Amino acid sequence: MQQCYHDNVQFSDPVFPNLHNKEAKAMWHMLVAASSGLTVTFSNIQATSHSGSCHWEAVYRFSKTGRMVHNKIEANFTFRDGLITEHQDHFDLWKWGRMALGLPGMLFGWAPFMKNRIQRMANRNLAHFMDKNPIYNS
């Protein structure tokens, strides 16, 4: 993804609602590095010179709990100069929470406080990852 992203990219999904530039690139680096047994499939790929979309699925073991996740995502893209400038992923955070977190995700994954907690933890992990990796510190 890093090679597909414009230097001025904006990324959003239910976990990371507003990442820019190096944050977005670091997020992919962090997620791939932490995912055990990651497999990704794509379908329904559509694109013009200015925009695109696809359905993609990621199957992996969530590093914090060891639980298997099969996340189904709808993605929308905006392109400039042949690179992605905007990337929006849409998926059901409650379903993801049930798979990744188990009982707490099932019971509370629909609640705003759980969404906020997931986002805070993810952003804290991303900041820590970026601090440890000098390529994201310039």
pLDDT of 121 above 70: yes
The token pair that represents 10 in the structure block? 């904006």
Residue-wise pLDDT for 31-59, tens only, equals 998 877 899 999 999 999 999 999 999 99
Domain count, the chain: 1
pLDDT of 2 above 90: no
Quickly state the pLDDT bin for 110 (edges 50, 70, 90). Answer: confident
Supply the range of the domain harboring residue 35: 5-133
The CA-based dihedral angle spanning residues 7, 23, 97, 66, taken in that order and rounded to the nearest 10 degrees: 110
What are the C-alpha distances in Å from 64 to residues 34, 51, 121? 9, 34, 11
Q: Is residue 107 domain-resident?
A: yes
Q: Is residue 44 domain-resident?
A: yes
Q: Is residue 93 domain-resident?
A: yes
Q: Is residue 138 domain-resident?
A: no
Strands 83-90 and 5-12: parallel
pLDDT of 138 above 70: no
Claim: this prediction has a pTM higher than 0.85? yes
pLDDT of 111 above 80: yes
Q: Is residue 118 domain-resident?
A: yes
Q: Is residue 13 domain-resident?
A: yes
Total Cβ atoms within 10 A of residue 110: 14
Q: Is residue 105 domain-resident?
A: yes
**Residue in this structure with the two tokens 């709990």, named with its chain if needed:** 65
**Residue in this structure with the two tokens 């696809």, named with its chain if needed:** 54
Q: Is residue 98 domain-resident?
A: yes
The CATH number of whichever domain residue 53 belongs to comes to 3.10.450.50
